[in-house]
Structure 1
Amino acid sequence: MGNDIDRAGVAKAYGRWAPVYDFVFGKVFDPGRQSTIAIADTIGGRILDVGVGTGLSLADYASTTKLYGVDISEPMLRKAQQRVRSLNLTNVETLAVMDAKHLAFADSFFDAVVAQFVITAVPDPEATLDDFVRVLKPGGELILVNHIGAERGPRRLFELAFAPLARRLGWRPEFPWQRLVDWAAKNGGVTLFEHRPMPPMGHFSLIRYRKS
């Protein structure tokens, strides 16, 4: 299926994943998730969490942070809504089924946009990132946690072997860093100010941009 990931396919894959998502993704991705939440809470105000999934992260944000969560998968969001109700998370303003590339929010609405493990799973990463920037206030932050493909070495070999399974999950395992560099230059409205590897084994990166 190459690099083209169709939207319905992604929604369906994550629909199948919904029951086991928390178990599988909770532990492996926890360090990246917690780092992101800590940064978002420091910024405060209105935070958009794109690809909020089953709402695993929602309870970890400070109760003073106003949260807006969107996801392509309705079964996932149903679980997130149950979580919000059962934990009485009054700071969650909105949970909505939405395409990350066409966010139904006004320009310059959010203080930060958080997208964890999202940009490698959407059909058009560059246009999606552009829309994230659109809804950010000037000076607002775009916080990505993502798998960035290794250029060489043992991790590169592992990723190539893992690629067919990764694609079935709706990821592009070979997503290169240069693609983000090129996007930021073309967008022209953001400045990169942090890029650090995250556990496990630096497979994921925390990447932060500030809107000019």
Structure 2
Amino acid sequence: MSLPLYSDNLRISGIDLSEDMLKRARKKYGGRNNMDDLQVMDAGELSYPDNHFDVVVAMFVMTVVPDPDKVTRELERVTRPGGTVILVNHFSADTGLRAAPERGLKLFGHRLGWNPEFPKSCVLGRTFLTLEGEETLAPFKLFTLLRLKKAD
């Protein structure tokens, strides 16, 4: 769903565990000249070499994977020194109106297909990536974009 947002001057590689989702993406956006590849791949075991990408983007992934630490380490590994990792995800609130419902929904996470109680600390401080920016996103500021930098 994010493919149309990328500029034509960027080279794009994409992954998903679902071949069906990749088929949809190929059908809808496969004619773009900047699409390098779309592959079935596990985000926790990327087949790309170390330091391969200038920018790595993981949208709405971290709360649905079984091992977010492993995925975060893989994103860091395939990002070149000085490169950027962008995460877009729902991160739970520690306080406020959202905090209690998110804690309650955690009991149903296996049915929901995602972890509603997922603090930013689950990805921050788990690698050598440094937080460079943070932005809350619509709708209702339920999602957050984290911009992380890999050391040179």
Structure 2-normalised TM-score?
Answer: 0.91
1:158 partner amino acid: P
Q: Give 1:190's aligned residue.
A: 129
**Which SS does the other structure have where 1:175 is aligned?**
coil
**Which SS does the other structure have where 1:69 is aligned?**
strand
User: Number of paired residues?
Assistant: 151
CA distance in 2, matches of 1:64, 1:163: 41
Gaps of 5+ in 1: 1-55
2:68 and 2:122 in contact (8 A); partners too: no
1:67 is matched with which residue: 12, 22, 31? 12
**Which SS does the other structure have where 1:111 is aligned?**
strand
CA distance in 2, matches of 1:84, 1:178: 35
1:201 partner amino acid: F
CA distance in 2, matches of 1:181, 1:96: 27
Q: Give 2:97's aligned residue.
A: 154
1:102 is matched with which residue: 45, 62, 70? 45
Give the superposition deviation at 1:181: 3.0
C-alpha root-mean-square deviation of aligned residues, in Å?
1.6
1:200 is matched with which residue: 122, 139, 144? 139
**Which SS does the other structure have where 1:192 is aligned?**
strand
Gaps of 5+ in 2: none
**Which SS does the other structure have where 1:127 is aligned?**
helix
CA change 1:181–1:61 in 2 (3 A) is closer
1:190 and 1:209 in contact (8 A); partners too: yes
Q: Give 1:20's aligned residue.
A: none
Give the superposition deviation at 1:94: 0.3
Per-residue CA deviations over 1:38-92 (Å, capped at 9, x if unaligned) read xxxxxxxxxxxxxxxxxx221221111000000011111111111124xx21110
CA distance in 1, matches of 2:108, 2:37: 33
Map 1:106-125; keep pairs closer than 5 Å: 106-125=49-68
Give the superposition deviation at 1:201: 2.0
1:72 and 1:99 in contact (8 A); partners too: yes
**Which SS does the other structure have where 1:119 is aligned?**
coil
CA distance in 2, matches of 1:176, 1:60: 27
**Which SS does the other structure have where 1:181 is aligned?**
coil
CA change 1:175–1:211 in 2 (3 A) is same
CA distance in 2, matches of 1:116, 1:200: 15
CA distance in 2, matches of 1:180, 1:98: 20
